[in-house]
Amino acid sequence: MAQTMAVKSHSAKAQHRVMRVIIYVLLVVVAALMLVPFLWMLSASFKMNKDVFSFPIEWIPSNPRPRNYVDIWTKIPLLTFILNTAKLTIIVTLLQLFTSSFAAYAFAKLNFRGKKALFLGYIATIAVPWQAYMVPQFMMMRSWGLNNTHLAIICLQAFSAFGVFLMKQFYEGVPTELCEAARIDGLSEYGIWWRIMLPLSKPALSTLTIFTFVSTWNDFLGPLIYLTKTELKTIQIGLRMFISQYSAEYGLIMAASVIALIPVLIVFLALQKYFVQGVASAGLKG
């Protein structure tokens, strides 16, 4: 009896060990699938065009060519593209944080007429795809002379219903007693928002920051429609323009791609925790 138990637990242990090995093998395969394109990109960015497709793949180039990273800045106005994108991303993110958290405070903590109807209106529009009204939006902006301006992109991105929704969810978790106490201490509603709600909502603000940052930095269709002058373009459409003009400059394309990825990589690694939390809470809510 004892022997069979021991044998059983022994075989269970072996089975367990096999499972672990399978799990790790699968994980490594998935991680490789995810990473290999990026490694290939990095490797190709240090190669001459004729060597990019040499086979078998030379992962670490025998005579690396860092020149690609020098030439790309003169081949296209890459610095202008990056500065344009950085400017748009920072302004949009700040506006988004301000207007969303400001409005969310009212929706979460104040009573007013038409609250339910207004909020329902916001929620309903989250479901309407932007692509369904981008054409009339462009007509409207153009009639105001806003095509080929950065202001158009800012207006497009800065007032999202999603931000209000996200911040409201978070504010509802903050105890109302805190606000009551502050009111008794004589703080105005604006004071409560500034001194109590904003400092408390750092996690939610971080989540909104990284979402807005990534989506503005990587936005493609908006800038593609609105910004046709080269000096106004963002990194995404600038890079795309370069790719369609010099489709055989493989090394340079890969170098420019690496440069375009770096800012997002930095922000993502720094705020990753909040990104994951944000995605996860969106899922739980559903």
Partner 1 sequence: MAQTAQTAPAVQKKGMSKGLRESLVAYSFIAPNFIGFCIFTLIPMVFAIALAFCDWDGVHAVEFIGLQNFIDLLDDDTFKASFVNTIVYTVGTVPLTLVCSLGLAVLLNQKVKFRNFFRTVSFFPYVASLVAVAAVWNMIFSPSMGPVNQVLASLGVENLPRWAAGKETAMITVILFSVWKNMGYYMVIYLAGLQGTNLELNEAAELDGANKWQIFWHVVLPQLRPTTFFVIIMLTISSFKVYDQMYMITQGGPGNATMTLVYDIYNVAFVNTPRYGYASAISMVLFVLVLIVTIVQFRGSAAND
Cα–Cα distances in Å, from 77 out to 42, 89, 119, 221?
A: 21, 18, 44, 20
CA–CA distance, 264 with 92 (Å, rounded to integer):
15
Residue 12 in the binding site for partner 1 (CB under 8 A): no
Q: Which of 48, 86, 91, 118 binds partner 1 (CB under 8 A)?
A: 118
CA–CA distance, 204 with 104 (Å, rounded to integer):
12
Residue 204 in the binding site for partner 1 (CB under 8 A): no
Cα–Cα distances in Å, from 268 out to 98, 146, 272?
A: 21, 32, 5
Stretch that binds partner 1, among 60-68, 106-114, 174-182, 200-208 (CB under 8 A): 106-114
Residue 284 in the binding site for partner 1 (CB under 8 A): yes
Please, what is the minimum distance in Å from the beta carbon of residue 61 to partner 1? 15
Asked whether the beta carbons of 123 and 161 are under 8 A apart, the reply is yes
Site string for partner 1, 176-195 (x = CB under 8 A): -------------x---x--
The interface with partner 1 within residues 119-148 (CB under 8 A) comprises 121-122, 125, 127-129, 131-140
Please, what is the minimum distance in Å from the beta carbon of residue 231 to partner 1? 19
Please, what is the minimum distance in Å from the beta carbon of residue 122 to partner 1? 7
For helices 150-158 and 134-143, give the axis angle rounded to 10 degrees: 130
CA–CA distance, 270 with 34 (Å, rounded to integer):
20
Q: Which of 179, 214, 227, 232 binds partner 1 (CB under 8 A)?
A: 214
Q: Which of 47, 206, 235, 274 binds partner 1 (CB under 8 A)?
A: 235
How many Cα atoms sit within 13 Å of 98 on the Cβ side? 7
The interface with partner 1 within residues 35-74 (CB under 8 A) comprises 35, 37-38, 40-41, 44, 52-53, 55, 57
